[in-house]
């Protein structure tokens, strides 16, 4: 009578493979959940700030400076230096601002201000 080692038994191999795949999926889901929780935590902080201080206190741009010649300004794209107060914290940021697409520029500013999750 021949005996198959337990690790070579097709049923055990199948179960071990399924367990490994399930653990991999579970670990990935845990990573996604942790990232989501960090992101939601950051958004919750912003929400709490707005609730307590008001929306007008969230962002106060104190100055915006840029240099452009007519050729550069015609394209709408300029480098801009901003001095601001964001959630009661002074900030200085530099970003590319496109006067032809201000919503894209606002989105880029938001990405610089929001915590990474």
Between strands 59-65 and 89-98, the pairing is unpaired
Alpha carbon separation from 69 to 57, 74, 81 (Å, rounded): 34, 8, 16
Which CATH code fits 58-113?
3.30.160
User: Alpha helix (H) ranges present in 4-100?
Assistant: 10-53, 70-75
Give the long-range contacts of residues 3-7, CB within 8 A, separation 24 or more: none
Per-residue model confidence as pLDDT tens digits over 88-97: 999 999 998 8
Taking the whole predicted model, whether its pTM rises above 0.75 is answered as no
User: Using one digit for the tens of pLDDT, what is the confidence trace for 5-29?
Assistant: 777 777 888 888 888 889 888 889 8
| Strand (E) or helix (H) holding 110 | helix 102-113
């Amino acid at each position: 009578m021949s005996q198959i080692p337990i690790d070579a038994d097709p049923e055990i191999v199948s179960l071990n493979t399924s367990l490994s795949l399930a653990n991999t999926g579970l670990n990935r889901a845990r990573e996604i959940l942790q990232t989501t929780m960090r992101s939601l935590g950051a958004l919750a902080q912003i929400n709490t700030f707005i609730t307590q201080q008001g929306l007008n206190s969230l962002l106060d741009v104190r100055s915006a400076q840029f240099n452009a010649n007519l050729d550069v300004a015609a394209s709408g794209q300029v480098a801009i230096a901003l001095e601001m107060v964001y959630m009661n914290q002074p900030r200085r940021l530099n970003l590319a601002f496109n006067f032809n697409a201000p919503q894209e520029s606002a989105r880029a500013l938001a990405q610089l201000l929001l915590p990474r999750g």
